[in-house]
Amino acid sequence: MLVDALVAAALLVLAVSDLPRGLGPGATAAGAACALAAALSVGGRSRSPVISVVVAAAAFVGYEYVTRAPAAYAQPIALVLNYYSAGARGTSRRQFGQLTALVLYGVAACALIAAILDSLSVSTVAVHALPLVLAPALAGLLVARQRSLAGRLAAATEQLRAGEETRLAVARTRERNRVARELHDVVAHGVSVMVVHAGVARITAGDEPDVARTALTEVIGAGRTALTELRQILGMMDSAAPDSGPRAGVDGIVALAELPRAAGLPVHISVTGSGFALPAPVDAALYRLVQEALTNVVKHAGSAVTEVTLAIEPAEVRVQVRNEAAGPAVAGVTEGSGQGLDGMRERVESAQGRLWYGPQPDGGWEVRAQFTLSPAGVPVGNEDTRPAPVRAWLGAGRAASWLRQAGPWAATAAALAVLCADACLSGDRRGPLALNLVLVAGMALVLPWWRRFPLPFLVAVNLMALPLSNGLASINNPTVVSTYVFTVPLWAVAYWSAFPAAAAGLALTAAFDIGTGLYWQLGASSIGSNVVLTVVLWIAGRAVRRQRLIGANLSRARALLEAEQRDREELAVWDERGRLVARLDSLVAAEVSDMIETAESVRDQLGSAAASVGTESIAEVEQAGRQGLARLREILGLLRAERPAAGPSWVPAHP
């Protein structure tokens, strides 16, 4: 405010000293009042820039109306400072609307001043409004935008940092849920089958040692398969190691039923249309769903007859696992953890499928799933299901991209039409009309150079303007053509060029201004004002270029911050995964490994005098399996994020 007060005082002194001599007392007093109002408006531009602009423009119009002075200095400077402050207030929609209204107000003030001085024309208004109204308002707006960009960058950085812990916690929770689901699908199935076969071995160990030995072999095989898949899940298996378990997909479903069938559980599988290739998510979801459903049959339905039906068609895939009324349940495995149905639903929904499950009227249980595919074999959820307005907006974006590509040619055509019309209609034309049309057409046709070759574009336009310097491109009698020559090439150089080329363009333009002014013997004030306007326009172009680069740097910085955040989340996931690997390997894998070792030992003893000892050891295998399942349920409860319990879900057989 102190600086504004000092500037206002200096402008007041300049305005009073610049009052024309020979005015009457009333005109002198009115002119001094207008000069005082224009100067004082600068002092309040920090607090009320809108009011300052209104007062300064009105005072400028009043001053010219009273004095008819052809040249004024204090009032234009006050107008420039006030418009800069109005533009620098901010970039909100409301502030931008106010600035637009103020710019129109300033253009109207320039038109009134031109009318007062008997020089009203579109070109005159444009030439005066550009440095006094448009340029300072744009400069202020650019400064405000730079502040806004810096603030947005700081806010984005702070937001990313503030939400880091939340995102890391979410990443860890997702990983824990994923591990819990995979662990339940693999280990629970394997351990349940091991307990079933151990029970068979215990029952037949005394009378049928061969059957018991075969059952123990199945225990060992199921345990090793579970360990293999467990280590695959946890990332502990060497990629070169052979895959000893069934492939997790449609091809592995038939082999999946062999273990419960070998234990005496009647499982019948029917697969139709297996020749179609399925997306990997659907393929894995089908395998895990059947695996979980068979595990539930073993745990809850005992020796119930189970039907697995899989139908693969080009448009959809349907799977059904249905068991009859429960038979004798296997001891120790009838309890449920409640995790199976949740994991089954999550897996099916992740593959864009639908799941139904529920009891049957005959006392059995049924699980069904359906995956709808597109003709190309891709889940429907992966197709473009965006709403029509979004697709329309994207189509409009493609149209806008096409318009941007056609923009230079459209601008060239518009410039050609406007410049040729001005050459034909202007009363300031000198020389033959054909020469004028050829020159202005050449100025328009080189417009596509302005981005790729801005400095040659500037030189070409100014050279073609030389023959018209006392006509359409006259400095002291501005027209549309002269405005084009004065603004467009210099703006192109300032905006599109690096600093050395931009500085060379500024020097060339200033040299053209000075040389033309000296050739036509213009006054020093006219030459100086043209050079000043050239510098102001160049600075504005450089400022806009800087804003564009700042915006690009902001986007790049945000992208780098987001990439860094993703890296941190990935590190958090791997850290969480490492802890889970150590924990699960020491708890679950140890239990399964002990069961395998015991089963191998008992199998070697069967048929010998130590058969009674083998029976006790088989009971230990069963007990270890039950303890392993209990431990598994405990671990799953710790791993899974808290979520509302999902009850049975059922719809009619043909939804």
> What is the percent of the chain with per-residue pLDDT over 90, rounded to a whole number?
8
Model confidence pLDDT, tens digit, residues 212-250? 778 878 878 777 777 777 666 655 433 333 344 445 567
The pLDDT value given to residue 54: 92
Residue 221 neighbours by CB under 8 Å, 6+ apart = 259
CA distance 412 to 418: 10
Looking at residue 42, what is its pLDDT?
A: 86
pLDDT, tens only, 97-131: 999 999 999 999 989 988 888 877 776 787 788 77
Helix, strand, coil percentages, rounded to 5, for the chain: 70, 5, 25
pLDDT tens, position by position, 563-573: 777 767 776 76
Residue 155, φ and ψ in degrees, nearest 5: -65, -40
pLDDT at 387: 47
Q: What tens digit of pLDDT does each residue of 589-648 get?
A: 667 777 777 777 777 776 554 455 556 777 777 777 777 666 666 666 655 544 433 334
Which pLDDT tens digit goes with each residue over 308-334?
Answer: 998 888 888 899 999 887 665 444 444
Residue 379 has a pLDDT of: 45
The pLDDT value given to residue 331: 41
pTM score, whole prediction: 0.46
Q: HSE on the CB side for 520, CA within 13 Å? A: 19
* Residue 504: band (very low, low, confident or very high) from pLDDT cuts 50, 70, 90: very high
Q: CA gyration radius for the chain?
A: 42
Residue among 544, 450, 547, 465 at smallest CA distance from 501: 450
pLDDT value for 123: 63
Q: How sure is the predictor about 584, in pLDDT bands with cuts at 50, 70 and 90?
A: low
* Confidence bin at 369 (pLDDT 50/70/90): very high
Beta strand 306-312 with 267-272 is: parallel
Query: Which one is predicted more confidently, 297 or 591?
Result: 297
pLDDT computed for residue 105 by the predictor: 93
Q: What is the structure's pLDDT at 340?
A: 64
Confidence at residue 586, expressed as pLDDT on a 0 to 100 scale: 62
pLDDT tens digits for 60-90? 888 888 888 777 778 888 888 989 999 988 8
Beta bridge partners of 311: 272, 318
Q: Is the predicted pLDDT of residue 448 greater than 60, yes or no?
A: yes
The confidence score (pLDDT) of residue 639 equals 58
Average pLDDT for the chain = 75
pLDDT of residue 237: 36
In the DSSP assignment, the letter for residue 183 is H
Give the pair of three-digit tokens for residue 331.
Answer: 């001891």
Q: How confident is the model at residue 261 (pLDDT cuts 50, 70, 90)?
A: low
pLDDT at residue 239 in the model = 35
